[in-house]
Amino acid sequence: MVCILLTGCLSQARSETIIIPESGDELSTSGISDLFDVKTIYRVLDKQSDDGIPLGWIDRSSLLGFFGEQTRSPSLERVDYPYEARLKLRNAEAKAGFITLSMDGHTVASLLQTADGDYSLKLTSLSDQQESIIARISNDQIRSFKYGWSNNGRYLVYIVRHGESGSIQMSVYDTTGKTTKSFTVAGWKPKDAISSVHIADDALSAAIIKDSGKLSYLLFGALDGSGWTEQYEHPANRDSSVEWIHNDQIAFIGSEGSLYAYDRRNAALSILIDQIGLFRLSPDRKVIAYLQDKDTVYAASLYGNNVMNKTQLFKGVVPSQISWSPDNGKLLLSGRKSYAEQDVPRPVAPVVISNQNMVIEFR
């Protein structure tokens, strides 16, 4: 009878809301081992007086942060577990919006303004501090300039629009071979704008979020000697990111808010999750974290086109960044805490205040 009772308990669905403590104290969860059982939630640099902006994970337990944006000497600093101490690595020559960390945590790409008013795209290795300028961006191209890393951290893709001709050029830099390949992107209208660009791990495919008037579209295509060849188009959320499930399949948010997966091998489009606001796949592409219900973060397992083991992680934060640690053991959330106004008539939106940077550690 005891065995039967235990079996019944194990089969029940579990949904658990975690309330963040004032410090990194251990949280009580059930004794059942689960993929997304939360062990501890840490406030990142909660006792520091100046605000830092987490850029991502350097390794399984350490973050890279940008500090002192409003000062004369901003810096890139390492924030180590348990996220209350920081170590300066180097000065930051660019503003926070012009710095991005590779997905493997090894390289920083930054956009620096030069004395003549143009810009340089610079890569800096965090392991040996070696620097290299890989591109020059003219002042008339800076408005259209977008860039991003492949999931394996090997390739940096950047895209610009030429002011005179209006043509689009996509370039891919290989950090291993130290080479750059450039591709022409055809079919753009004068009023079309670039929202973001994304490169596959094999650098043979790329996706673009294009803004055309009040509408946005996902464009998915192949890179070859003739340029970038569009293979698929779908209405998309203007702020949608694109995640590569594998080199032939992508995930993105549609214009109505659903998370889609598109596989070009069989031209199959699948809905993974309805009505989400932000999402991020883990480095091994086996789990997903996403925002839903305005201010609630969930995690789930990804099996093919099926999303399973949905678990509520945290409620009351509106993240602008979600990032998995390399071993899937921790989740970084950066955003703002949401306070709902109980006496305010609908459809007035909740008031969003108070910066929040936190790390959720799983058992």
Closest CA relative to residue 122, chosen from 153, 147, 88:
147
Band (pLDDT 50/70/90 cuts) for residue 187 is confident
Percent of the chain residues topping a pLDDT of 90? 70
Collapsing DSSP states into helix, strand and coil, what is residue 92?
coil
Check residue 49 and give its pLDDT: 59
Q: Given a cut of 50, is residue 38 above it in pLDDT?
A: yes
Band (pLDDT 50/70/90 cuts) for residue 51 is confident
Check residue 354 and give its pLDDT: 52
Can you tell me the mean pLDDT for 166-176? Answer: 93
Q: Given a cut of 90, is residue 163 above it in pLDDT?
A: no
**Is residue 274 a contact partner of residue 257, using CB atoms and an 8 Å limit?**
yes
Share of the chain residues as helix, strand and coil, in percent rounded to the nearest 5: 5, 55, 40
Q: Given a cut of 70, is residue 150 above it in pLDDT?
A: yes
Residue 243 backbone phi and psi in degrees, to 5: -115, 135
Can you tell me the mean pLDDT for 80-100? Answer: 91
Check residue 182 and give its pLDDT: 95
Q: Given a cut of 60, is residue 24 above it in pLDDT?
A: no
Q: Given a cut of 50, is residue 349 above it in pLDDT?
A: no
Check residue 3 and give its pLDDT: 43
pLDDT tens, residue by residue, 263-309: 999 999 999 999 999 999 999 999 999 999 989 999 999 998 999 99
In the chain, domain spans:
16-47+295-363
Q: Where is pLDDT greater, at 32 or 321?
A: 321
Q: Given a cut of 80, is residue 344 above it in pLDDT?
A: no
Collapsing DSSP states into helix, strand and coil, what is residue 101?
strand
Percent of the chain residues topping a pLDDT of 70? 85
Taking the C-alpha atoms of 160, 162, 163 and 167 in order, what is their torsion angle to the nearest 10 degrees? Answer: -110
Mean model confidence pLDDT for the chain? 86
Band (pLDDT 50/70/90 cuts) for residue 167 is confident
Closest CA relative to residue 204, chosen from 240, 251, 177, 244:
244
Chain-centre distance for alpha carbon 318: 14
Can you tell me the mean pLDDT for 179-188? Answer: 93
**DSSP type of residue 32:** S
Q: Given a cut of 50, is residue 7 above it in pLDDT?
A: no
**Is residue 218 a contact partner of residue 236, using CB atoms and an 8 Å limit?**
yes
Residues 6+ apart with CB under 8 A from 98: 110, 111, 112
Q: What is the distance between the alpha carbons of residues 289 and 320, in angstroms, rounded to a whole number? A: 13
Q: Where is pLDDT greater, at 85 or 339?
A: 85
Range scoring the smallest mean pLDDT among 175-184, 200-209, 220-229, 259-268: 220-229
Can you tell me the mean pLDDT for 127-133? Answer: 93
Check residue 165 and give its pLDDT: 65
Q: Which of 21-35, 171-185, 337-351 has the highest mean pLDDT?
A: 171-185
Q: Given a cut of 90, is residue 346 above it in pLDDT?
A: no
CA atoms in the 13 A half-sphere facing the CB of 228? 29
Collapsing DSSP states into helix, strand and coil, what is residue 271?
strand
Q: Given a cut of 60, is residue 141 above it in pLDDT?
A: yes
Give the strand order in the sheet containing 131-137.
Answer: 99-101, 107-113, 119-125, 131-137
Specify the residue for token string 């699948």: 270
Tally of residues, the chain: 363
Check residue 26 and give its pLDDT: 39
Check residue 50 and give its pLDDT: 65
Q: Given a cut of 80, is residue 8 above it in pLDDT?
A: no
End-to-end CA distance of the chain, in Å?
A: 30
Report the 10 Å Cβ neighbour count for 84.
16
Q: What is the distance between the alpha carbons of residues 104 and 323, in angstroms, rounded to a whole number? A: 12
Band (pLDDT 50/70/90 cuts) for residue 31 is very low
**Is residue 197 a contact partner of residue 206, using CB atoms and an 8 Å limit?**
yes
Closest CA relative to residue 55, chosen from 47, 44, 46:
44
Give this prediction's pTM: 0.85
